[in-house]
Amino acid sequence: MRITTLLLWDIDGTLLTAGGAGMRALQTALQRVFSIDGSINDIDFAGRTDRWIMRQIFAKFGLPASEENFTRLADGYVTALPEHLADRGVHLLPGIPALLATAEARGDMALGLLTGNLRRGAEAKLNSRDLWRFFPFGAFADDSEDRDRLGPHALRRARAHHGVEFAPANTWVIGDTPHDVVCARAFGARALAVATGRHAVVQLQSLQPDAVFENLADTASFWRAIGAA
């Protein structure tokens, strides 16, 4: 069967919820690596890339935003993440296991990630629920600090992996924040928004995505929206 459609998934608030483990791991890393105890709870992180969040942390605590500091904080974060994931528990959001299994079985869908997570963080989160294997490629915070620039990286890796040039019109970005919708538009892709994160349907609707769902439990409606019923 020919692969025609590319589904690019956000992670936090879309595939799963990790109970704030990511921000807790960053807080732990800040303490362990830089001996800073101040809170990072006031940083509005939803839909942002990990690298963008780290830059806000450096600014807040007067640390130079040097590559060395990015690397030190990222290493500390990845090291601390598994203990926080185990502590908080990673929960898959409604419909996700069924959607991924169906997408794999259909044979006409390519699955990838388009996430603000660092690649190593994405791997830890998804591996904790055996989902990493569904996503042979993706675009991550390692590629750009700016989420709106991640789309072309995902398309390039999709082409390299499948040998298929996916048209933006056949590419869907699935995410839970206004940033995901804007990111899709930035490279001409379609946007499917889901209100399983911190944003309500009405907030997501205001960005005019191609489809909006309260959650993805109704998998038949999901495939209809994608045009693959």
Residues interacting with Mg ion, by CB under 5 A? 10, 12-13, 176
Residue 220 buriedness (CB in 10 A; 0-12 / 13-18 / 19+): exposed
In this complex, which beta carbon is closest to Mg ion, that of residue 72 or of residue 120? 120
Host H or E run for residue 9: strand 5-9
Query: CA geometry: angle at 109 spanning 108 and 113, to 5°?
Result: 165
Least distance to Mg ion from the beta carbon of 10, Å?
4
In this complex, which beta carbon is closest to Mg ion, that of residue 37 or of residue 43? 43
In this complex, which beta carbon is closest to Mg ion, that of residue 49 or of residue 171? 49
In this complex, which beta carbon is closest to Mg ion, that of residue 155 or of residue 193? 193
Least distance to Mg ion from the beta carbon of 194, Å?
9
Least distance to Mg ion from the beta carbon of 7, Å?
15
In this complex, which beta carbon is closest to Mg ion, that of residue 12 or of residue 145? 12
Q: Which pair of structure tokens corresponds to residue 82? A: 């598994």
Residues 6+ apart with CB under 8 A from 29: 73, 75, 76, 77, 79, 80
Tokens 């915070």 belong to 141
Least distance to Mg ion from the beta carbon of 167, Å?
25
Least distance to Mg ion from the beta carbon of 178, Å?
11
Least distance to Mg ion from the beta carbon of 214, Å?
16
Distances (CA, A) of 184 to 2, 39, 207: 24, 32, 11
Q: How far apart are CA 65 and CA 23, in angstroms?
A: 18
In this complex, which beta carbon is closest to Mg ion, that of residue 36 or of residue 43? 43
**CB 192, CB 218: distance < 8 Å:** no
The separation between CA 39 and the C-alpha centre of its own chain, rounded to angstroms, equals 24
Q: Which residue number places its CB atom closest to Mg ion?
A: 13
